[in-house]
Structure formats: C-alpha cells, structure tokens
Structure 1
Amino acid sequence: MAHVRHLISIDDLTDADLHALVARGAEFSAGTAGPVAPLDGDIVGIYFSKTSTRTRTAFSSGALRLGGRIVAYGPGDLQLNTGETNEDTGRVMSRMLDVLVARTSGDPAEMRVWAAQDRMAVVNAMSADEHPTQALTDLTTMRRRFGGIDGLRVLYVGEGNNTASALALALTRFPGTELELRTPPGYGLAPAYRERAAAQAARHGSLFRERHDVADLPGDLDVIYTTRWQTTGTSKSDPGWRAVFAPFQVTAALWEDSPKAVFMHDLPAHRGEEVTADVLDGPAGIAFEQAENKMHSAMAVLEWCRP
C-alpha cells in the first residue's frame, strides 16, 4: 500500500470522499457491493476505552467480513495506563497494525498523534466532541430510505453532543438539505461546530439552524432524530438537568405536521426519557435499521482507509 487514509473528523473528508463513503455504505447495505476482500492479510486493532455495543461490533464484524483479522483492546489493556506516551503508543502500533479503530473519552488530538505516520490508518470511533462514523451511518441510512440525501429536511431534538456535531458537519454538505437543531439551553452545539456547520451550509446551498426551545417546530419533515440524554462516558454537573431536557422529549405529537417522517436514534435508547416507546418501536422508527447500517458504513470506511 502506498499510503493510508485517516478519519478523525468529518472535516478530514473531501466532498468526493463523503459522497463516495455514503454511496459505498449504501451498496454494502443493499447487498450490491459484490464479493470484496480489501483487508485480506490486514490486521485491524479495535481499541475502546469506553463502552460500545454497535460501533465496536460494527467495525469488528465489518473487518472480518472484508477479509481482515482483528486484535481487540479494552480500557485497561494498553500501557497508556502506566504512563506510556501517546506518541510512543502510536509509533509501536503503526509497526504492527494496518488500521486502528479507537474510541476515547478525550480530545481527538490524541488520535491525531497516532495518525502522524503513513503506515497505519486511524479511525475515530467516537471522541468527546465528535462521532464521525455515526454521521456516515446516518447518511447511509437516509440514502437507503429515500434514495438520496439532497433536499432532505431533518429535525434533531436533544443535546448538542458528539453525534449532533458530526451530523451537522456532514448533512450540511449536501445541497438543499435543511437541518434544524433544537437543543436545551446550555446544552447546544459547541460554538466551533456551529460555526463550521454554518460555513458548510453557506458553501453547499443547504440550511442550518439551531434554537434552544421547542416552539414553532418545522413541519413536512423527512427525518426526526434524537439521541440519549446522557452521552456515553459523560455526566452533567447540573443536578436539575432533567427538568431542562424534559420539553425536548420526542413524542408522537411531532408527527402531526410531518406524518411521513421517519424516526432515527443512534442508540442506546431510554424509552420514556428522550423518546416515548410508541415512537421508537412504532412504524416510523428505523433506529434498528440504522444500527445495522453501522456495520455497512464501517465496511465502507475500512475499505476507504486502505486504498
């Protein structure tokens, strides 16, 4: 291999890369990708310092399906815990692995250090501020459901967390899309991500808005999306946060003005908190289809990382 590609942020992708990854994920999902084994002979490291069901399983099973073999690490397995530097860890792993898929609780700068070489591809499977492979899963799911992404109208209700950050960076790069975020006051999108999403929308002819209330919600939506109120690996300092979040629960009432909208959730879900059970498990809910697409999207990412 002449070089590898790293995916630390959605911003690392060109428009062509983003569109190609979504299209390829949709092909894997539809079963039209053909018999391929681009990872034949490759070793993929799967390092998760935080809990994961979908993403860890998606990349592990995806790597195996593509002909690779995996080495899995848990949160207590690396010498990072005894004081070895990120730099040394990356230098060692790059001499033994072809791809490293990592979930950490910290700044993605840690992964940038590991990616400072051209022997081992590094994939961000979620950091504190961004979940890029989730956004690719989301767009793959939308493409499979609607046949395309351009022009879709999406309402995201809930915390401006790492899933929301990645979705904002990705969806705004498709012309004619509309992304409206309704986030609780004090829990909005990080300013840097809000600015980047707005700039992307201006460049691509899409629309991006964020408000901190649930009044005058848009209608005629294609997608209504929420995430768990307590993001994996985080806690909230305000003891009264649940009262702030309560008005942002997704209920069937949101479908009165958007009867054809589908419901998406990155899971895990807490029925009765961020979403009612009748929505998650009802006819509009495609969250488990979305979860399955994590594997298809992961396969597209792994293939792309090893050109």
Structure 2
Amino acid sequence: GGASITATSNDMQLGRGETIEDTAKVLSRFVDAIMLRANDHATLVALAHNASVPIINGLTDYNHPCQIMADLMTLEEQGRKLKDLTLCWVGDGNNVAVSFVNACAKFGYKLRISTPKGYEVSGQDVQRARAAGAQIELITNPKDACQNVDVIIADTWVSMGDLDADQRMSDLAGHQVNEDLMSCAHSDALFLHCLPAHRGEEVSAAIIDGPKSVVFDEAENRLHAQKAVLKWCLGAL
C-alpha cells in the first residue's frame, strides 16, 4: 500500500521563495516521510532539522548513502561476505565515494581509493572513518590500488553541476576501468557502477557489459534497498 508524490522545487512554494525550513514544516503535515535529492547538502540538513517526519537522503553533493546500500546488497546477493572484501574506488572522489568511506567501519570491508591529484575524497571523512576502525588506503596509481581486490567501483566523471567537463576528462583519463585494470584484481572480482555510465570514459564497454559487471542487479537493488529504508523509517522493521 501507500502512495508517493514526486515534486520539484518548481512544483512547490520553494520555486516562489519559500524557505526550506517552512517547506519542511508544511510537508510534514501532508506526508509520512520525505526523500530529498539536493545539490547542496546544507539543504538536506535544514530540511531534517525542521521536519517532524523521517527525512531520507536520496543524494546530495556531499554523499549518497542510499546508493551504496544497494551496492552492498548486490555484493551480498553475489554470495560475498562484506567483512572479507577489499573494495577499490577508481576515479573522482565524489559523493558516492564519500559514502563508501562513511560505511567502511560499520560494514567491515577494506577500502582502497585511487584518484588523481585534486580529485581526492575529503581528508576529514577519511580521518573520521579511520578513527572509527575503517581500513582505508589512498593509492594514486590505479593499477597498484586494484591489485588483488575483490570489487572495483567507478562512477561518472562529470555530474552534479560540474562545469569543467573537458578538464575533468583529461585529468581522469588514466583512471578508466578497462580490461587492463580489471586484470589486476582477483579473477572473480566484480564491477560496480551506480549508473548512468559513459562507455569509453570512466569504464570500457568490455567491462560494464562483460561477465564481471553486476551493474543492472545493482540498479534493481536500489528499489529493494529503499523499500527497506522506508519500512525502517516508518517503524515496520
């Protein structure tokens, strides 16, 4: 049961200058939970502080926890025990990468991150995760980072309003996940990507469309993971 309402800022009073604080209080009178996708993480925080119903982070420029819940679910579906895995993030240290850092200590996997200079994951997040017990290595060279790992993860190089597409393409070109890089991992290693993907940029077609890729299972599991989040928020779990 239940029903959902999809609304952009132009569909609400936000588009006419209403504050996010007022929107939070109004929407809390209408619905049982709110999922927000926002370009600015501060908007999510303000919504959460002023709403009286559960707020779900659907994505912000800072992190994307709902995505990696689906990612980790996918690995478990594949028969992998998270605490036994070494994951390697390759490319831009973006919001999804931050969520893998944030979840590392809680789920017990080891994490390697390979980014070019200038595209690193927030040092503060890495430091906080390590203090909580996370095992995280920062390795610039992607081939070194991917040696004997169990999972390689990539994401698009241009997103969330990035305006320097050409520069990013040039800077990140050496961090494409292709057959050469995948060969550095264990023979049964898996490939993850939250989609949409750009073949020939962050990943080659041979990898994302090949037998090591579980990206479409991963995409489906966003549905199942979010159903579980809603049940938990509404007290059904």
After TM superposition, the score normalised by the length of structure 1 is: 0.72
Residue 84 of structure 2 corresponds to 151
> How far apart in 2 are the matches of 1:253 and 1:215?
9
Residue 196 of structure 1 corresponds to 128
CA contact (8 A) 1:266 1:287 kept: yes
> How far apart in 1 are the matches of 2:76 and 2:188?
16
CA contact (8 A) 1:172 1:208 kept: no
Structure 1 runs of 4+ with >4 Å offset:
none
CA RMSD of aligned residues (A): 1.7
CA contact (8 A) 1:226 1:265 kept: yes
Residue 170 of structure 1 corresponds to 103
Task: Say whether residues 1:225 and 2:153 are aligned partners.
Answer: yes
Structure 1 or 2: more helix by fraction: 2
Task: Say whether residues 1:98 and 2:25 are aligned partners.
Answer: no
> How far apart in 2 are the matches of 1:228 and 1:260?
24
SS at structure 2 position matched to 1:154: strand
After TM superposition, the score normalised by the length of structure 2 is: 0.92
Cα deviation code 1:148-184 (max 9, x no counterpart): 2112111110100000001111133233x21000012
Greater relative CO (CA pairs within 8 A, separation 6+): 1
Q: CA deviation at 1:287?
A: 0.4
Cα deviation code 1:177-210 (max 9, x no counterpart): 210000121011122222222223x2xxx41012
Residue 161 of structure 1 corresponds to 94
Task: Say whether residues 1:251 and 2:183 are aligned partners.
Answer: no
Task: Say whether residues 1:273 and 2:205 are aligned partners.
Answer: no
Cα deviation code 1:129-150 (max 9, x no counterpart): 1101012111111111134211
Stretches of structure 1 lacking an aligned partner (at least 5 in a row): 1-66
Change (3 A) 1:187 1:293: same
Q: CA deviation at 1:238?
A: 7.4
Task: Say whether residues 1:209 and 2:137 are aligned partners.
Answer: yes
Change (3 A) 1:285 1:218: closer
Cα deviation code 1:86-130 (max 9, x no counterpart): 1111110001110111101112x3222222357411101001111
CA contact (8 A) 1:252 1:279 kept: yes
Total equivalences in the alignment = 234
Stretches of structure 2 lacking an aligned partner (at least 5 in a row): none
In structure 2, give the amino acid aligned to 1:182.
S
Cα deviation code 1:250-295 (max 9, x no counterpart): 0111232321101110100000000000000000010011000000
> How far apart in 2 are the matches of 1:110 and 1:217?
35
> How far apart in 2 are the matches of 1:186 and 1:217?
17
Q: CA deviation at 1:73?
A: 0.5
Aligned to 2:8, which of 74, 77, 88?
74
In structure 1, give the amino acid aligned to 2:59.
M
Residue 115 of structure 2 corresponds to 183
